[in-house]
């Protein structure tokens, strides 16, 4: 499967990734780190994602599931991610505890705000990414 340029319409954070690994060392669990420009030294929001082995996958990480950490420790006071914050960096870390070579391809990453566009077929609410001026950041 090839990477696509579509934006995930149901999740606030999405990325298109493909892990590579030797046969004996599958790598499917990654930590995603978001460093905000918050004014507080060492603030880092962290979350975990799993990927299917060797395939492109669009993975999502809801912002309300991120843990606020500082110097590797979970902060006692958890401040939720504020979509008004500027983002300094995004990082991916292997979090499976297995030694050996690896490769992770990242086709795109997006931080997406959502708005409810009403009902689709009278059942589920439709979600639509906001335009860039209202909070979508892509790299």
pLDDT attached to residue 100: 74
Between 71 and 25, where is the model more confident? 71
C-alpha 130/C-alpha 112 separation (Å) is 7
C-alpha 123/C-alpha 105 separation (Å) is 36
Q: Return phi, psi of residue 66, to 5°.
A: -75, 140
Strand partners, 14: 60, 110
pLDDT attached to residue 68: 92
Yes or no: say if 13 and 115 are a contact pair by the CB < 8 Å rule: no
Q: How confident is the model at residue 139 (pLDDT cuts 50, 70, 90)?
A: very low
Yes or no: say if 18 and 54 are a contact pair by the CB < 8 Å rule: yes
pLDDT tens digits for range 67-107: 999 988 999 989 887 777 788 888 888 767 777 777 777 88
Helix, strand, coil fractions of the chain, as percent rounded to 5? 5, 45, 50
Whole-prediction pTM value?
A: 0.60
């Amino acid at each position: 499967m090839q990477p696509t340029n579509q934006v995930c319409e149901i999740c606030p954070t999405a990325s298109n990734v493909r892990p590579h690994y030797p046969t004996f060392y599958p790598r499917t669990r990654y930590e995603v780190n978001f460093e905000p420009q918050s004014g507080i030294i060492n603030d880092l929001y962290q979350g975990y994602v799993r990927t299917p082995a060797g395939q492109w996958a669009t993975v999502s990480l809801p912002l309300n599931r991120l843990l606020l950490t500082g110097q590797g420790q979970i902060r006692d006071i958890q401040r939720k991610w504020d979509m008004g914050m500027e983002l300094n960096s995004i990082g991916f870390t292997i979090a499976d505890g297995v030694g050996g070579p690896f490769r992770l391809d990242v086709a795109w990453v997006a931080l997406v705000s959502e708005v409810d566009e009403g009902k689709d077929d009278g059942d589920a609410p439709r979600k639509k990414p906001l335009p860039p001026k209202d909070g979508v950041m892509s790299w």
